[in-house]
Amino acid sequence: MLYRLKNAGYQAYLVGGGVRDLLLGREPKDFDVATDALPEDVRRVFRNCRLIGRRFRLAHVHFGPEIIEVATFRGANNDAEVDDHETQNGRVLRDNVYGTIEEDALRRDFTVNALYYSIEDFSVVDYTDGMADLQEGVLRLLGEPEIRYREDPVRMLRAVRFAAKLGFKIDPACEAPLFTQGRLLEGVPAARLFDEVLKLFLAGTGLHAFEKLRHYDLFGCLFHQTDASLTHEENAFPITLVHQGLENTDARVREGKPVTPAFLFAFLLWEPVRELTERLLALGRADSEMDALQQAGAEVTARQVQRVALPKRFSLPMREIWQLQPRFAQRGGKRPLRFLGHPRFRAAYDFMLLRAHAGEVEQELAEWWTQLQELDEQERSRSLRGTGDPRKRRRRRRPQGQPVVTAD
């Protein structure tokens, strides 16, 4: 791809996280390209190209399921260029200001993400001392940290994510505002924060990211209800459940196994749901535990999506995982066999195991359900005979007028 742009007369470089990860000996998740070609020029070079974005036009070049993002070098903003911007209430809606590769480097966030790989001489082009920071394991913002965070508060979450993912230290000047500027995240659209949460917790280093978010008081800016629950935890239940959930998630990601956001949000929000469920039952505002769970799940979810969006394709199965928890206590008759056939059983079972690990559910219950799944159909039927609450045998009523026959 780089050679096709070069042969068409344009400069083209690999840039960003792909270059950073290659230099660190890691496998890049994706590749980005920076060029002096305008988006329309890129589309002329590549038929399999689609232009996206309004604020800043980008070219997405499709190679089967893979997408390479191609961005034109961005220039520095200044007063003389203000007529080239479309603004509304002070927010930039269109920012197609193009410039040189040097200007483009200075517009990036961290120095380690401002490295360019050149196919001209197979070298790394570095305008920001990013190589030195990469070797020292330091995350350093380009520009004044507080200003850069105000420009885009999500950079605070990116700092935490990269520090957790790369094992880097955050430069002290960039770290200090993290303790005080979390409120800026309140102005970030909830849908964008959903994407950032997935990047934080589904990258294989979610537990480390969680610990850093709490250290900088940023976790409460994303999950304020859960953060409030963690401040008055009892017997370490909530912190243990969240830790175990993230630890299991990290292991699955490293093994290449899928993880659904529904399960991630289920254990991140469980503690406020559990607390509200208990209050509803204590106040007599629910007919049953399942009813209380349904009410609590709806209320906690409604509050959460005001801060971090959660599409219904994830929120509905998340709430179903919660509502199925009381069914694990029902071990009598054929109910366990019917429950095993429920389409959401496996996710609910995995969640119950988390609760057992945290001490919230008896370990014997978790072992019983685990063993039940290991049996074949006939063995299950035999093992369930006589389990559950004993049932009284119903006496047959004698028809009225019929004599009672007794044995001699």
Indicate whether 81 pLDDT > 60.
no
| Active site positions, annotated | 30, 32, 109
For the chain, helix (H) and strand (E) counts, in that order, are 20, 11
Looking at residue 46, which CATH number applies to its domain?
3.30.460.10
| Total domain count, the chain | 1
The rounded distance, in Å, linking the Cα atoms of 112 and 101 is 16
Residue 91 binned pLDDT confidence (cut-offs 50, 70, 90):
very low
Look at residues 240, 157, 144 and name the one whose alpha carbon lies nearest to residue 198. Answer: 157
Domain ranges, residue 8: 1-136
- Using a CB cutoff of 8 Å and minimum separation of 24, what contacts does 236-239 make? 236/358, 236/359, 237/271, 237/358, 237/359, 237/360, 238/270, 238/271, 238/358
Asked if residue 232 belongs to a domain, the reply is: no
Asked if residue 128 belongs to a domain, the reply is: yes
CA quadruple 365, 366, 368, 370: dihedral, nearest 10? 170
Look at residues 182, 146, 178, 180 and name the one whose alpha carbon lies nearest to residue 162. Answer: 178
Residue 385 binned pLDDT confidence (cut-offs 50, 70, 90):
confident
Asked if residue 348 belongs to a domain, the reply is: no
Radius of gyration of the chain (CA): 28
The rounded distance, in Å, linking the Cα atoms of 368 and 374 is 10
Indicate whether 22 pLDDT > 50.
yes
Predicted TM-score (pTM) of the model is 0.86
Look at residues 224, 169, 163 and name the one whose alpha carbon lies nearest to residue 193. Answer: 224
Residues 110-119 pLDDT 10s: 999 999 999 9
Indicate whether 97 pLDDT > 90.
no
Residue 355 binned pLDDT confidence (cut-offs 50, 70, 90):
very high
* DSSP letter (8 states) at residue 38: -
Q: Return the percentage of the chain with pLDDT > 90, whole number.
A: 79
Asked if residue 400 belongs to a domain, the reply is: no
The stretch 298-317 carries a mean pLDDT of 98
Residue 396 binned pLDDT confidence (cut-offs 50, 70, 90):
very low
Indicate whether 232 pLDDT > 60.
yes
The reported pLDDT for the residue numbered 64 is 86
The rounded distance, in Å, linking the Cα atoms of 125 and 312 is 44
CA quadruple 351, 354, 360, 363: dihedral, nearest 10? 100
Asked if residue 172 belongs to a domain, the reply is: no
The rounded distance, in Å, linking the Cα atoms of 78 and 100 is 15
For strand 12-15 and strand 32-35, is the pairing parallel, antiparallel, or unpaired?
Answer: antiparallel
3-state class (DSSP) for residue 192: helix
Asked if residue 339 belongs to a domain, the reply is: no
Between 14-28, 69-83, 213-227, 366-380, the lowest mean confidence (pLDDT) is in 69-83
Asked if residue 69 belongs to a domain, the reply is: yes
Indicate whether 405 pLDDT > 70.
no
The reported pLDDT for the residue numbered 104 is 95
Helices 261-282 and 312-323: crossing angle, nearest 10°? 50
Asked if residue 98 belongs to a domain, the reply is: yes
Indicate whether 392 pLDDT > 60.
no
Size of the chain, expressed as the number of residues it contains: 408
